[in-house]
Amino acid sequence: MMGTLDPTQVEPMVVDFLSERFELPRERLGSQTALRDLGLDSILMLDVMLDVEDRLGIKLRDLSMPPNPKVGDITALVQRNLAAGA
């Protein structure tokens, strides 16, 4: 799926995924929403990254994230990895 995902589709996909996986209302998941505020700790973040890889059929090689990542940081991480793999 890596070659077919448009970068503009990444954030809606991340929001949908987080909403489904953690049963969170989509309206709580803006690009500036801190994952810690949603109750996601570093262990759950690793789980999220593995699930994103599975869902997209890609391998995330660059996993660099800021100390308190936001939804937009996950989007940027996926977009960076997609661009690097293109």
Domains recognised in the chain with CATH numbers: 2-85 (1.10.1200.10)
Give dist(CA 21, CA 18) in Å, integer: 5
pLDDT the model gives residue 1? 44
3 has pLDDT over 80: no
Tokens, residue 83: 């661009």
Percentage with pLDDT > 90 across the chain? 24
| 3-state secondary structure (DSSP) of residue 38 | helix
Q: What is the pTM of this model?
A: 0.81
| 3-state secondary structure (DSSP) of residue 42 | helix
Per-residue pLDDT band at 34 (split at 50, 70, 90)? very high
